[in-house]
Chain A
Amino acid sequence: MEYLIGIQGPDYVLVAADTVAATSIIQMKHDHDKMFKMSEKILLLCVGEPGDTVQFAEYIQKNVQLYKMRNGYELSPTAAANFTRRNLADYLRSRTPYHVNLLLAGYDDHEGPALYYMDYLAALAKAPFAAHGYGAFLTLSILDRYYKPGITREEAVELLKKCLEELQKRFILNLTSFNARFIDKEGIHEVDNIPLTKVES
């Protein structure tokens, strides 16, 4: 149903998500943003159970901001990812686990770009590229085939387009619109030229 994808390059991370918010067979919203800004250079992409996604993502977001207020500097992407995973794990065996799948993408001034894959069972993996959702079954092999460690931004956008076009061709559900963002040392930037235009809500 929902689709997330992330590609890490030498000095940037490119992330994209579909923008459909659906309930059973109805698309309620066509321009739903599934990326939550944790800090100036960290994005959390969150999909899963309808209420859990927003509540969990906002909880992590507020805690990351609180850390910045208390200590004067921002959490690094690694620290934020581990903090997020810790919360997922703590709630997993409680009466109210969060059923959310996440991609955390960020840029650290010392460590460089980082992309972390997390799932609802509180698994955490740092990966050069990752995807969530049924669409991942169709696109992970494309990422395996065409990704290389020194991939440039233009190549990354082309690779993303390949993935999205494959979804258009083979995925049974109609994911018409996506939004994509770059994260680099300057911060978070919107990508405008992905092939599928945003549908007017």
Chain B
Amino acid sequence: MAVASSHLVYITPRMRSRHFALFLSVTPLTKMAAARPPFCGRRLPLTRPRSKMALASVLRSELPEFNKSLIKFNKIFPEDSEAIPEIVRDPPGPPRVLAAPPWGVEAAPEGPGFQMLHGTTTLAFKSPAGVTVAVDSRATAGSYIASQSVLKVLPINARILGTMAGGAADCSFWQRLVARQCRVQELRNKEPVSVAAASKLLANLVYQYKGMGLSLGTMVCGWDKRGPALYYVDSEGQRVAGRAFAVGSGSSYAYGVLDRGLAGAAATAEAACALARRAIYQAARRDAYSGGRVRVFHVGPQGWREESADDVAALQERYGE
């Protein structure tokens, strides 16, 4: 798109390539050929070791600066097994690229490229009354608390909920895609989609990207014609049905409270919600990466609804610690 201005654009090495593209678009067409990119890869000091992962320069999630905060995360979502024989791995050295970007390799990134929800606690469990889902609302980037009010429950439709743990963008994008596919399936079959089908759709989708850096640990909870249903799906490709799950860096703390109280919480929806709230609260107390507000949802035969949203500090007064 040619614009009337004819100013010369100085591109300094500090500019990012995407800014360069913007400048390129306002340079008149006659100058386009002359405006060559000033950096072409070799001259840049690459201070960080390159990752072998596909799309590494975009995702930037395997770079060393993330590794410290990834310790907890890697325990939950371990990397690919090292037992795969050497012959099928990429050979050591710079990663293969299909085509070099036209303006050379991107400059070394300054700061985290995007936020990941490493730290979180989410849980869900089934009871005859339905499925109770509880989440915290803290988002961290390393040791910085990026937000205390993240919505970690994503509705797939009126009867099915998905939770978010891992990468926020991964979770919300893929679950929205699954929501769309579920709606199409419902329109085609004239029957509400089952939770098993919704979770299988999600599991098959993320399996295609296995090993490419997706980070997703979600529970698909809903009520379908077979009753309450709960599935855990993650970016490793695992998909299991179960009665109770907790996901996230605080999951082990939540499991403790949840498992010990499950026997008594099956009676009513209120008791189930109280147990869920307490389990997330205890996890938020122990896990540094969980906190904010505790949101509790309940999925019954009529669909899901939010039962409560309490600040952790308010719960501390209520539980009297």
Contact = CB atoms under 8 A, between A and B. Distances in A.
Partners in one complex: yes
Interface of A: 21, 23-26, 28-29, 32, 49-52, 54-55, 92-97, 99, 120-121, 201
Interface residues of B, number: 30
B84 A26 contact: no
Most B C-beta atoms less than 10 A away, residue of A23, A32, A96, A99: A23
Contacts of B225: none
Contacts of B87: 93
A51 B76 contact: no
Contacts of B85: 92, 121
Contact of B236 (A50, A94, A120, A201): A50
B308 interface: no
Given A24-B76, A24-B78, A28-B232, A51 B238 contact: yes
Contacts of A29: 240-242
Given A23-B238, A51-B237, A120-B84, 17 more contacts: A23-B78, A23-B236, A28-B240, A49-B237, A50-B236, A51-B238, A54-B203, A55-B204, A55-B207, A92-B85, A93-B88, A94-B88, A95-B88, A97-B84, A97-B88, A121-B85, A201-B243
Contacts of A51: 203, 207, 210, 236-239
Contacts of A93: 87-88
A115 B78 CA distance: 32
Contacts of A49: 80-81, 236-237
B39 interface: no
Per CB-CB distance, the 3 closest pairs between chain A and chain B, nearest first, are: A51-B237, A50-B238, A50-B236
State the majority secondary structure of interface residues on A.
Answer: loop
Contacts of A55: 204, 207, 237
B228 to A, nearest CB: 14
A84 to B, nearest CB: 19
A192 B80 CA distance: 36
A99 B255 contact: no
A96 B255 CA distance: 34
A21 B243 CA distance: 13
A95 B83 CA distance: 15
A1 to B, nearest CB: 11
Contacts of B84: 97, 99, 120
A21 B238 CA distance: 9
